[in-house]
A = this chain, B = another copy of it.
């Protein structure tokens, strides 16, 4: 494949993670090592900013800032949830595609790296196909990112190891707190974590048990399984009887047999007439207090869990960086239409080493990967040894981050804009 001279554009999309900027640093630093890549641009707020020709010039950023991205959470370039949707909005999608290639052409973009989850890989796939169709020489590589860990073909998704490291640490800490306060009256604490349809995040907190059944979490409710109230209450009761307290982790999206989200409160309507989403933890608290008369408190980690760079996994962060680098290497080598995937290489001594490979974007887009049923114990309340063996290596190592005045010192990009060459998007 002949060397392709031109500019590189990188952007971030979807919900941020603690390590999505490590992938960005990987792209930017690797791009700097290849002479065929001339200018190095970032797209603001994903595809949406690119449509608006909002590009920034990475060569105006300090090397120190780029390095600092490796331990800075959230999306340094901003993200979006904008989708180029040929099915539901074919006219808008066609218009968007024309505009994207206008922007690419105007700025001689020949390399495009898009860091994101399911929807973003779909976008990358469409851009790749469109480039082929138009005969526009563009190398498109997707970089995986999602705390949900629901992308297929990759061993894990950058962001996942960090979210479960933080959540498992939190479960351990809340567990010793509640355990130390426990009396014969019994008490319960319900910790709600993210994961609307896939339960990877909730499942990951099983690592806090460290192999000891007495350790929390005692119950993990995954959205993959139907929530059965009586079975759940019996398990809480049994746990409180055994340990005086019970720590429950619940994935936000758990549903009952009718498919109704447990967190949706049908008795109350919001200003628009929709049921109030009080949250799964609050709903379970009312059930436990009402039915068992056991004092119950809740923790709702929300955005804190996906942004907790102060507790990021070094394994996860290193993989995120490697994915960014691999995307650029693949593109320079002439590849297009692939997502970088993480490959697990079990070592004879039981440790794990990681490498990257490529998977066609066509295999990724819009496929969701769930926790396998045989990785969950028979009663459905805890992931089993198969899951633990999978998840344990992902949280290993701590990311060192600089501090100032007792707080993490995260970096912010200067964001020097690239001069616009096109009329505003119509």
Contact = CB atoms under 8 A, between A and B. Distances in A.
A170 B304 contact: yes
A54 to B, nearest CB: 12
A16 B181 contact: yes
A182 B16 CA distance: 12
Given A270-B286, A304-B170, A407 B297 contact: no
A122 B177 CA distance: 23
A301 interface: yes
Nearest to A82: B183
B271 A173 contact: no
Given A180-B76, A397-B406, A173 B313 contact: no
B290 A270 contact: yes
A173 B73 contact: yes
Interface string A171-184: 01110111111110
Nearest to A412: B176
Interface of A: 15-16, 45, 48, 72-80, 165, 168-170, 172-174, 176-183, 189, 191, 207-208, 210, 267-268, 270-271, 276, 278-279, 282, 286, 289-290, 293, 297-304, 306-311, 313, 315, 392, 395-398, 403-408, 410
17 contacts: A16-B180, A73-B173, A74-B173, A74-B179, A78-B180, A79-B181, A168-B407, A169-B407, A172-B410, A176-B410, A267-B268, A270-B289, A270-B290, A298-B302, A315-B406, A395-B407, A398-B403
Given A80-B183, A176-B307, A397-B406, 19 more contacts: A74-B173, A75-B181, A78-B182, A79-B181, A169-B310, A170-B304, A170-B308, A173-B307, A173-B310, A177-B306, A210-B405, A267-B268, A270-B289, A271-B290, A278-B282, A279-B282, A298-B302, A299-B300, A310-B311
